[in-house]
Structure 1
Amino acid sequence: PQAVHFNSAYLGYHQQINRDNSGVSPYAKDMPTGHGMYRWHLLDPIRFSTRLKVTLQQIGDRGDHLFERRDDVTTVAYWYLTDPNGDGYSLPPKECRRPR
């Protein structure tokens, strides 16, 4: 089935990849479907003052039952400081900002 792509100012489903056509790998072939989606919380910001923890629950649907999925998910989060000079906050060194 062909994917229905949509984009709006605040959310969208803009990408579905079923095959690696990059030519980078000699082993390029059919692969599990990859999806690209976005959601901007400009109108309904998620406010926090010191810490933010986000968890994702991945539920699949086989038609007759739901199941827990094990997907490879990547996310990004942006935050904005109140003071353009940084509110006295500085980022830790890059070595300390690597994913766990």
Structure 2
Amino acid sequence: MHTSTVKILGAKAVDFKPDDKSGRHYDHVALYCEIPMDLSTGMAIGNGCETFNWQDSSNMALLRQFKQSDFPITADITFDMVTTGKAMKYVVVGVKLPIPPKAVA
């Protein structure tokens, strides 16, 4: 497992079952994260945005503690690597969010 500190630019809950009789169930929070570009080739500079799936959509409640104006937020995300046999991908296994700002009364 690997932990990285990233900026979460935004998030979207996904929870649906397609009508294709496949039995699949998509249930996660898509985290849109700012990630540094690969500078090793000299063909890129700056940052990009990568989407990581954080299981399951109920995790959105943790992000709703923040307001729109709080974003981007910096979080520590723990990843695990998995493979299909052809391609490797990162799976989010944990997210350590900052303490949400207190609401001003």
Provide TM-score, normalisation by structure 2. Answer: 0.22
* More strand as a share of residues: 2
Query: Bigger radius of gyration, 1 or 2?
Result: 1
Q: Which has the higher contact order (CA 8 A, sep 6+)?
A: 2
Scaled by the length of structure 1, what TM-score is found? 0.23
